[in-house]
Structure 1
Amino acid sequence: MLSVLLLGSFLLFAESVAGVKWSTPQGWKTGAARPMRAATYSVPMAPGDHDPAECAVYFFGQGSGGSIPANIERWKSQIVQNGQPAQAKVDKRAIHGLAVTTIESAGDYMGMQQQSAVHNYKLLGAIVEGPGGNVFIKFTGPAKTVEANRKAFDALLGSFQKE
């Protein structure tokens, strides 16, 4: 669901699913609807990079999508260094009363639909425990581009709140 609020001369886009809502970071473009995704954002590439990044917000339904540990482990396995799973930083915190698990990893990325790994990528991910089920946020792209958009990703996470 997409809501548009007019505040003075500014538009604030609020999206929602699973009893939570969030706001699109400034400069990120909302992509076309895709299966299993509540939202897809195209993130502009940093100077010197050759590819943009993508941030996807997934909701599979209440009780669906797998456990938090299983998803964190799957995301860990998608980033490798020297043929081994890369080091990943996993953290837990609360945002506006919602439990959130985050992950950060960098290396060669092999997404679920890819035929071969892409080098020097970064993954920032989060799982928000919403009243209507878990919401999965996965931000991937060239490491430089993802790092240049870290504050925007943090703002995205910080905007999650109960409806």
Structure 2
Amino acid sequence: MEKIILVSLSILLFSSCRNRPSSSNNSNYETNNVVDDGFTKKDRRSSSSSAKSLKVDDENVTIENYLRQMPGLNVNGSGYNASVTVRGVKTMYGASEVLFVVDGVPLSGGLGEVQALVQVRDIANLTILKDGSATALYGNRGGNGVIIIKTKK
């Protein structure tokens, strides 16, 4: 009797492991093991920063809508008046909007300036840096988070 139960449980265990669904739900998220902070590229295992990259592959989707797909970002408003903040970042007196960096050049005008300067069809990927160790490279301006935009060259 014990052998029958043991065999039944082992068959059940192996059959449930075989039909496991794919862990990748969104094909836009890059699965490479490299973290690009705008200055250097590091192995994800040796980096302690919180960074997420997103491939931009549809010209009909706005930058604003791509940013809405990113976990941990809040996009308020729409169009050129939209503001982007990282969830959990609060300031009493200063601005709480993230810093945008396009091909290594920091932009101070927010999402409206990025939308005016960069077309979606020219963007290769977006990288979001959310924590202090990743944004320290950008100083005080990057304290609320950094969105790095790499264009196609």
Tell me the TM-score normalised to structure 2 length. 0.34
Tell me the TM-score normalised to structure 1 length. 0.32
The structure richer in strand per residue is 1
Which structure: larger Rg? 2
The structure richer in helix per residue is 2
